[in-house]
Chain A
Amino acid sequence: MLKKSLILAATATVALATAAEARDQIRIVGSSTVFPFSTTVAEQFGKTSSFKTPVVESTGSGGGLKLFCEGVGPDHPDITNASRRIKQSEVDRCAKNGVNDVIEVKIGYDGIVMGNSKKAKGMTLSLRDVFLALAKDVPSETDGKLMPNPYKTWKDVNPALPAAKIEVLGPPPTSGTRDAFAELALEGGCKSFDWIKALKKSDKTMYKSVCHTIREDGAYVEAGENDNLIVQKLDANPNALGVFGFSFLDQNADTIQGSKVDGVEPTFEAISDGSYPVSRSLFFYVKKDHVGVIPGIQEFIAEFTSDKAWGEDGYLSDKGLIPMPDDERSQWQTRATGLQNLSM
Chain B
Amino acid sequence: MTDLASNSAPRQTTERIAASLPRRYARDSRFRYYGLVAIGLALAFLVLLFVSIVSKGYSAFFQTEIRLLIEFDEDRLDPNGTRDPSVLAGADYGGLVKSSLRGLFPEAESRRDRKSLNRLMSSGAGFVLRDMVTNDPSLIGTAQEVWLPAAADIDMLIKGFIDRSKPASERRVNDKQIAWVDALQERDAIERHFNTRFFSAGDSREPELAGIWGAVVGSFYTLLVTILLAFPLGVMTAIYLEEFAPTNRWTDLIEVNINNLAAVPSIVFGLLGLAVFLNFFGLPRSAPLVGGMVLALMTLPTIIIAGRAALKAVPPSIREAALGVGASRLQVVTHHVLPLAMPGILTGAIIGTAQALGESAPLLMIGMVAFIVDVPTGPIDPATVLPVQIYLWADSPERAFVERTSAGIMVLIAFLVAMNLIAVVLRKKFERRW
Q: Point out residues on A near B: beta carbons under 8 Å.
A: 1-2, 4-5, 8, 12, 15-16, 19-20, 25, 27, 32, 35-36, 38-40, 42-43, 46-47, 52-53, 55-58, 75, 118, 225-228, 245, 247-248, 250-254, 313, 315, 319-320
Contact = CB atoms under 8 A, between A and B. Distances in A.
A46 B124 CA distance: 13
B404 interface: no
Contacts of B205: 36, 39-40, 43, 319
Interface residues of B, number: 47
B204 to A, nearest CB: 6
Nearest to A249: B397
Contacts of A228: 394-397, 402
B382 interface: yes
B358 interface: no
Report whether over half of chain B's contact residues are helix, strand or loop; otherwise say mixed.
loop
B394 A4 contact: no
Nearest to A23: B284
A226 B283 CA distance: 31
B127 interface: yes
A227 B369 contact: no
Given A1-B235, A2-B236, A254-B171, 4 more contacts: A5-B232, A42-B371, A43-B373, A245-B397
Nearest to A7: B228
B370 interface: yes
Contacts of A25: 382
Contact of B371 (A8, A35, A52, A118): A35
B380 A57 contact: no
A20 B382 CA distance: 13
A117 to B, nearest CB: 13
A56 B231 CA distance: 32
B123 A315 contact: yes
A207 B55 CA distance: 51
Contact of A52 (B163, B206, B374): B374
A206 to B, nearest CB: 35
A58 B116 CA distance: 32
Nearest to B379: A12
Given A36-B397, A248-B397, A58 B170 contact: no
A53 B374 contact: yes
Given A8-B225, A16-B380, A58 B370 contact: yes
Given A36-B397, A47-B127, A226-B395, A12 B372 contact: no
Contacts of B373: 42-43, 46, 53
B286 A16 contact: no
A27 B285 contact: yes
B142 interface: no
28 contacts: A2-B232, A2-B236, A5-B228, A8-B225, A8-B229, A12-B379, A12-B380, A20-B284, A25-B382, A36-B205, A39-B205, A42-B371, A43-B206, A43-B371, A53-B373, A56-B371, A57-B285, A57-B370, A58-B370, A58-B371, A75-B284, A225-B395, A228-B396, A248-B397, A251-B398, A254-B166, A315-B123, A320-B397
A179 B172 CA distance: 30
A52 B202 CA distance: 13
Contacts of A47: 127
Contact of B282 (A4, A20, A55, A118): A20
B399 A58 contact: no
A47 B370 CA distance: 18
A43 B204 contact: yes
List 9 tightest A-B contacts by C-beta distance, closest first: A1-B232, A53-B373, A39-B371, A56-B371, A57-B370, A40-B205, A251-B397, A55-B382, A254-B170
